[in-house]
Amino acid sequence: MPPIAAGTLARVTVLLLIRHAHTDAAGRQLTGWARGVHLNARGREESARLVERLEGVPIAAIYSSPLERCRETIAPLARSRGLPVHARRALIEVDYGDWTGRSIAQARRTALWRTIQQAPSAARFPGGESLLGVQERAVAEVRAIAQAHPRGAVAVVSHADVIRLLVAHVAGMHADHLQRLIVDPASVSVVALGDGIPRLLRLNDTGDLTALRPRGRGSPERPRRPERPRRKLRG
């Protein structure tokens, strides 16, 4: 992705959708709204590296799911920027209801899992939420965040399915195509809102984010080509 041109951040809201970093349960267990799920050693390293990855990217505010794994992920960045973390219930993980605590291996043996993979728009977790319901609450929340911060970049820390549902909405994808999207731990997906057409700028980035630094004042200038010596005119 090319660097953001000077003035772009002044015209729209750029949302940095950050998935929480690694936990011992990530990819293995449906933890849902369960408390007490913390970052592991790898996750803490990813959290610290997020500060370096986003260095130079102006951030106006930080919003987060209230769960510990999200707040721990963003804590180093919040400290480095001197910004408070605003917890928002609407950014919380999917409520898996009766499935909370199940292993992914157990879930894969069920008919509901096949529905989640093939037609997620029809999926509702027993005693929990539907995926369309999660998308509705998450979209409403990021719209409210964009209205509160109509200019500049805002960090939003959430969970894989929540971010995938947000990205699907921004990209105009049907929710049944959800499984085509991958959102890894500590990844940053970037969307722009506010100029009439939502735009997906970056998806599942786990590496260098220097392209998000705005160009313009304070940016290094390109070296100028040396001028050719002028010919002397003979009269």
What per-residue confidence (pLDDT) applies to 223? 40
Listed in sequence order, the DSSP H helices in the chain are: 8-11, 41-53, 68-81, 104-107, 111-118, 131-148, 160-171
CA pair distance 138, 116, nearest whole angstrom:
18
Res. 21: pLDDT tops 80:
yes
Enclosing H/E stretch for 15:
strand 13-19
What per-residue confidence (pLDDT) applies to 235? 41
What per-residue confidence (pLDDT) applies to 228? 52
For residue 42, give both structure tokens: 């790898």
Model-wide pTM > 0.85:
yes
pLDDT band at 122 (very low <50, low <70, confident <90, very high): very high
- Find the largest Cα–Cα distance for the chain: 95
Give 199-231 pLDDT, tens digit per residue. Answer: 999 999 999 888 888 775 444 434 444 445 555
DSSP-derived letter for residue 152 is E
* Antiparallel, parallel or unpaired: β 188-193 and 61-64: unpaired
140-145 mean pLDDT: 97
What per-residue confidence (pLDDT) applies to 6? 46
Question: Could you count the other beta carbons within 10 Å of the beta carbon of residue 12?
Answer: 21
What per-residue confidence (pLDDT) applies to 151? 85
Res. 79: pLDDT tops 90:
yes
pLDDT band at 11 (very low <50, low <70, confident <90, very high): confident
What per-residue confidence (pLDDT) applies to 217? 45
pLDDT > 90: what percent of the chain?
A: 80
Res. 124: pLDDT tops 60:
yes
Hey, is 124 helix, strand or coil? strand
What per-residue confidence (pLDDT) applies to 75? 98
Q: Is the dihedral of CA 103, 108, 110, 116 positive or negative?
A: positive
What per-residue confidence (pLDDT) applies to 216? 59
24-53 mean pLDDT: 96
What per-residue confidence (pLDDT) applies to 8? 55
How far are the Cα atoms of 58, 63, 115 from residue 175, in angstroms, in the given order? 32, 24, 12
Give me the helix-helix angle, 68-81 and 41-53, nearest 10°: 40
How far are the Cα atoms of 14, 76, 195, 220 from residue 60, in angstroms, in the given order? 10, 16, 18, 23
Q: Are 123 and 131 in contact (CB under 8 A)?
A: yes
* Antiparallel, parallel or unpaired: β 188-193 and 13-19: antiparallel
42-57 mean pLDDT: 97
For residue 9, give both structure tokens: 């951040």
Q: Which of 9-13, 42-46, 207-211 has the lowest mean pLDDT?
A: 9-13
For residue 18, give both structure tokens: 């950050």
Give 144-198 pLDDT, tens digit per residue. Answer: 999 999 988 999 999 999 999 999 999 999 999 999 999 999 999 999 998 788 9
| Domains with residue ranges and CATH for the chain | 8-212 (3.40.50.1240)
